[in-house]
Amino acid sequence: MSTTVRNYVGGHWLEVPTGASVPFHNPASGAELGQVPLSGASEVEAAVLAARRAFPGWRSTPAPERARILFRLKGLLEEHREALAVQLTTEHGKILPETRGELQRGIENVEHACGIPSLMLGDTLEEIARGIDTATWRQPLGVFGVITPYNFPVMIPLWFWPYAVAAGNTVVLKPSEQDPLTHQRIVELAEEAGLPPGVLNVVHGGREAVEAICDHPGIVGVSFVGSSGVARTVYGRAAAAGKRVQALGGAKNHLIVLPDADMDATVDACIGSIFGSTGQRCLAGSVVVGVGAAYPRVREHLLDAVASIRVGDGLDPETGMGPVISASHRDRIRTLIGQGVADGARLALDGREVTVPGREGGFWVGPTVFEDVTPDMAVAQEEIFGPVAALNRAASVDEAVGMMQRSRYGNACSLFTTSGGAAREFRYRAGISMIGINIGVAAPMAFFPFGGARQSFFGDLKAAGRDAVSFFTDQRVVISRWSDVSSDPHHPRQNTSP
Ligand code: NAD
């Protein structure tokens, strides 16, 4: 049944009167699931107004009380975990074990944000000069905008808004227009957990809503995740409007395999990295570089193992890889595969014509493997964001690292080796933000910061970890002297005893 998604403003679910909307689909069948309204500046204005009104009351709600609401939300997310996972698979396409994993990572961020009474503690130094003390107080700033992509529609919004509201801010969230339903359910659960009206607001839409968020003078900061071009634009536009911004962009991640690697474990890790979530992850491995004798071994093991990946509906327990998000994304991936062929890469496995019997309307691309790829080819440089592996050869670790460093992205990379020395040297020189050693996906952990380098990240403070608390608060430094005490002759300070 098709549904029209509504905005959530000041605790009310509102229809958007503009009339303009875009459809979103079940990617495994192609069936329309609903319409997302394309909000404009006036809907953003209404949400910012609600968020600004809610801010003083929410800010003065004690931090432990704010944390308790999030703690109740964590319980509700756990209680509804399975229904949320099924909903997420239905609108995104990734297989159930992957949606369960995404939910778990999302819940961990809510859990981490529950620690806000400790995370927000300031610093103090007594007697910084005679009779003078200094302290920092972390204070919330007001209304934050949060703009998120389609590929982790549960987890990525939870990288931001729980920390923002835990710290006492209020939020306007603009989720992806391609899979809005599961997070809408999470917002309902947040309401049930007791989050007061106006603390979290949701505005649906696309570019116009994003631009209105970047420009609005009532928004103090923006957290963005999406493709690099949009991340760069959002970063520039919101910063020009005086906001603090963290903008996470795209990726092209290299998996480098040394000849001494444990080949079975390495190939398992590479396959999970490349084809997990049908390659639609900013941490997905995409270029596999076999160093020296590693190349033929990786190639052989990988092609054997990939052939057995079963493509299908993510709700079917037998399925190993689901569809991609949309027909247009499928077509873009097919075009990039065609480009690889035109550039001279050899297609060892071609997923372009894969389809699933009984599900012919779904958005399918099968596992695809290119070999003899050279670093200048589009398949080695462009973010494909689909189930496509490019196999490169390198004569040495230096050459492999050089290939990786020529990429304009710097999100993640992995090294597979049994040598501690090689691993240490790699960590030292990689110049990439998230590094896996014998790990295919350098996964985001709530307690650590998350974000890339180069064109993969624009900003300073990253998502999650302690950075989240810094991004969503300002440190106010208070330096104080109380002359009434120091001049009181009966005060202990006038005596010599400690
Ligand atoms: P996208 O850039 O198309 O969209 C992201 C958000 O920006 C959405 O909310 C969308 O509505 C909005 N948007 C799209 N075009 C816009 C425009 N021209 N102006 C203003 N706003 C616009 O990204 P996507 O396709 O939803 O997600 C996939 C991308 O996100 C990939 O590039 C992937 O690598 C990246 N990503 C990065 C990370 C990370 O941590 N670095 C994590 C997840 C996804």
Q: Which two tokens stand for residue 30?
A: 């192609």
Model confidence pLDDT, tens digit, residues 364-379:
999 999 998 999 999 9
- What was the pLDDT predicted at 223? 99
Kindly state the tokens that stand for 199: 């603390």
Least confident of 2-11, 96-105, 138-147, 193-202: 2-11
Closest C-alpha among 396, 424, 378 to residue 293:
396
**pLDDT for 488 beyond 70:** no
Substitution candidate for ligand 1 out of 152, 177, 237, 282 with most atoms within 8 A of CB: 282
CA 72–ligand 1 middle distance (angstroms): 30
Residue with tokens 């631009």: 211
Measured by CA distance, the residue closest to atom 26 of ligand 1 is: 149
Query: What gap in Å lies between CA 259 and CA 75, rounded to an integer?
Result: 46
Residues 282 and 340 in one domain: yes
For the CA of 457, the closest atom of ligand 1 is 41
Do 432 and 475 belong to one domain?
no
Residues 140 and 225 reside in one and the same domain: yes
Residue 282 among the catalytic residues = yes
Whether 234 and 259 map to the same domain: the answer is no
Q: What is the mean pLDDT of residues 50-75?
A: 98
Q: Whose CA is nearest to atom 19 of ligand 1?
A: 207
Residues 466 and 354 in one domain: no
* Sign of the C-alpha dihedral computed for residues 96, 101, 102 and 106 taken in this order: positive
Contact call for residues 169 and 118 (beta carbons, < 8 A): no
Let me know if residue 495 belongs to a domain: no
**Beta strand spans in 309-384 (E):** 346-349, 368-373
For residue 8, being part of any structural domain is answered with: yes
The phi, psi pair for 302, rounded to 5°, reads: -65, -45
Report the separation in Å between the CA atom of 109 and the middle of ligand 1, taken as the mean of its atom positions.
21
Q: Do 431 and 461 lie in a common domain?
A: no
Residues 23, 128, single domain; the answer is yes
> Are 475 and 360 contained in the same domain?
no
Same domain, 281 and 160: no
Ligand 1 midpoint to CA 168 (Å): 27
Q: What is the pLDDT of residues 283-309, one digit of tens each?
A: 999 999 999 999 999 999 999 999 899
Q: Are residues 10 and 71 in the same domain?
A: yes
Say how far apart CA 278 and CA 363 lie, in whole Å: 11
Mean pLDDT over 222-230 rounds to: 98
Q: How far apart are CA 160 and CA 170, in angstroms?
A: 11
- Chain-centroid distance, C-alpha 431: 20
445 within a domain of the structure (yes/no): no
Residue 2, Cβ density class (10 Å: 0-12 exposed, 13-18 middle, ≥19 buried)? exposed
What pLDDT does 203 receive? 98
Among candidate residues 20, 17, 21, 18, the one with its CA nearest the CA of residue 32: 21
Question: What is the Cα–Cα distance from 140 to 171, expressed in whole angstroms?
Answer: 12
Residue 389 lies in a domain: yes
Q: What is the pLDDT of residue 238?
A: 98
Whether 39 and 163 map to the same domain: the answer is yes
Asked whether the beta carbons of 5 and 12 are under 8 A apart, the reply is no
> Domain for residue 177, yes or no?
yes
Measured CA to CA, the distance from residue 99 to residue 87 in angstroms comes to 9
Q: How many CA atoms lie within 13 A of 81 on its CB side?
A: 16
Which structure tokens are listed for 437? Answer: 């050693």
Identify whether 497 is part of a domain: no
Asked whether residue 375 is assigned to any structural domain, the reply reads: yes
DSSP string over 377-420: SHHHHS---SSEEEEEEESSHHHHHHHHHTSSEESEEEEE-S-H
Q: Which residues contact 417 (CB under 8 A, 6 or more apart)?
A: 258, 260, 261, 423, 426, 437, 438
Mean pLDDT over the full length of the chain: 96
Cα within 13 Å of Cα(286), Cβ side: 32
R_g (Cα) of the chain, nearest Å: 25
Among 210, 248, 329, residue to substitute to test ligand 1 (most atoms within 8 Å of Cβ) = 210
Residues within 6 Å of ligand 1 by CB:
147-152, 156, 174, 176-177, 206-207, 210, 225-227, 230, 248-251, 282, 383, 385, 411, 452, 456
Q: 185-202, pLDDT tens digit by residue?
A: 999 999 999 999 999 999
| Pocket perturbation via mutation, ligand 1, pick of 230, 280, 409 by most ligand atoms within 8 A of CB | 230
How large is the average pLDDT for residues 465-475? Answer: 97
Under 8 Å between Cβ of 43 and 7 = yes
Task: Considering the candidates 114, 214, 270, 282, report the single residue annotated as catalytic.
Answer: 282
Q: Classify residue 252 as left (phi > 0), alpha (psi -120 to 50) or beta.
A: beta
Q: Name the domain count of the chain.
A: 2
Q: What token pair was written down for 185?
A: 């359910």
CA angle (335, 179, 269) in 5-degree steps: 65
* Residues in Cβ contact with 495 at an 8 Å cutoff, skipping those fewer than 6 apart: none
Helix (H) or strand (E) run with residue 202 in it: strand 200-202
CATH of the domain at 64: 3.40.605.10
Q: For residue 496, is it within any domain? A: no
Tell whether 240 and 282 lie within a shared domain: no
Between the CA of 250 and the centroid of ligand 1 the distance, in Å, is 8
Strand-pairing partners, residue 394, are 291
Confidence of residue 17 (pLDDT cuts 50, 70, 90): confident
Whole-structure pTM value: 0.97
User: Which residue range forms the structural domain that includes residue 428?
Assistant: 253-437
* CATH number of the domain encompassing residue 399: 3.40.309.10
451/174 Cα distance (integer angstroms)? 20
